[in-house]
Amino acid sequence: SRSIDLAVVPGDGIGKEVVAQGLKVLAAVLPQDVKLETREYDLGAQRWHRTGETLPDAELESLKGHDAILLGAIGDPSVPSGVLERGLLLKLRFAFDHFVNLRPSKLFPNTATPLAGRPDIDFVVVREGTEGPYTGNGGSLRTGTEHEVATEVSLNTAYGVERVVRDAYARAAARPRKKLTLVHKNNVLVYAGHMWKNIFDRVGQEYPEVTTDYLHVDAATIFFVTQPERFDVIVTDNLFGDILTDLAAAVTGGIGLAASGNINPTGAFPSMFEPVHGSAPDIAGTGKADPTATILSVALLLRHLGYEAEAVRIEDAVAADLAERTAGTVRTTDEIGDALAVRVAS
């Protein structure tokens, strides 16, 4: 019989609230014969305050044994900026070699967006997840003085770029429009930018059916707003992808709907699924958080584990739920989770 052994990291702020709804919908959508086991990991700001730990080796080791990880959000104003982001979230992405950070954007019906009514916004950003300026390859000299010098060097390897570019081509080839856009900044970042473009062009020879395009990242931000329908699959660097996917979320219905998967396509390590949004400490505990992004992340998780029909059921339920959301009616985190759980079960 089938089973899913899931690690759950609720984390901080609204992370705990939205993850509870994600689990609710997961339990509702799974067929009877699939055994769902979950283990919750107490990681995040509270743990750090209590013990000073972000992600101890024993827990990292234990997380490795699960089929997948569902994560809420990491970060809290009571913890110095970067401690949990680097020591927990990025540590997981790096340790489990999540080189594909998959962030789909779709214009759902009835959502608050400057682009409401525009047709066919349906693209996916393949954000590199293990390199670029995120590697912590930098330093500071004469820190805190007026002569301080700080570097934050972007690390790009041919190996790392080729594997994410290949993944993006494969995803583009599997979609109806078969279009792949590389986003970088090779008019200024002439070393990494040219390496990305050369690898992109070389791998592209193996995918003659995929139409390719290249955009500088600044120009891409314009097209995200003025012509988002031109995008199908986008492949880009870790930091550009971080920024572009917040913009993508904002223009397609808000950060409350944006899902992501930190994927290791080789299966060597568990992949990790999380909403794009953060811990939103300002609304934590108020029941205002929209759990939809986490629920859509559960759909990505299910798809990754081979439960395609269940993933589609969640996505269809979200589309139907959004179509019926009426302006002015405010539902709590729990109410949205309940409504979606009912929809996917029926």
Q: Which residues are annotated as a binding site?
A: 93, 103, 127, 218, 242, 246, 278-290
Q: Is 97 in the site for ligand IPM (CB under 6 A)?
A: no
Q: Which among 83-91, 117-125, 201-209, 284-292 is the span making contact with ligand IPM, rule CB under 6 A?
A: 83-91
Q: Which of 16, 167, 185, 321 is catalytic?
A: 185
Q: Which residue positions form the known binding site for substrate?
A: 93, 103, 127, 218
Q: Based on the residue annotation, tell me whether 76 is a catalytic residue of this protein.
A: no
Q: Based on the residue annotation, tell me whether 185 is a catalytic residue of this protein.
A: yes
Q: Which among 84-92, 158-166, 216-224, 327-335 is the span making contact with ligand IPM, rule CB under 6 A?
A: 84-92
Q: Is 242 in the site for Mn ion (CB under 5 A)?
A: yes
Give me the least distance between CB of 176 and Mn ion, in Å please: 28
Residue 125: strand pairing partners: 103, 234
Starting at the edge strand found earlier in the chain, the sheet holding 122-128 runs 35-40, 3-11, 68-73, 271-275, 259-263, 100-106, 122-128, 233-236, 179-184, 211-216
Q: Which two tokens stand for residue 54?
A: 């972000």
Give me the least distance between CB of 220 and ligand IPM, in Å please: 17
Rounded CA gap, 180 and 234, in Å?
A: 6
Q: Based on the residue annotation, tell me whether 246 is a catalytic residue of this protein.
A: yes
Residue 267 has φ and ψ, to the nearest 5°, of: 80, 5
Q: Based on the residue annotation, tell me whether 134 is a catalytic residue of this protein.
A: yes
CA distances (Å), origin 245, targets 8, 125, 278: 24, 7, 13
x/- mask, ligand IPM, residues 41-80, rule CB under 6 A, reads: ----------------------------------x-----
Q: Which two tokens stand for residue 20?
A: 């509870």
Classify each residue of 94-129 as buried b or exposed e, where b means 16 or more C-beta atoms within 10 Å of its C-beta.
bbbbbbbbbbbbbbbeebebebeeeeebbbbbbbbb
Tell me which H or E stretch contains 74: none
Q: Which among 54-62, 82-90, 238-246, 247-255 is the span making contact with Mn ion, rule CB under 5 A?
A: 238-246
Q: Is 87 in the site for ligand IPM (CB under 6 A)?
A: no
Q: Which residue is nearest to Mn ion (CB)?
A: 242
Q: According to CB under 6 A, which residues from 232 to 251 bind ligand IPM?
A: 242
Q: Which of 42, 201, 218, 316 is catalytic?
A: 218
User: Catalytic amino acids?
Assistant: 134, 185, 218, 242, 246
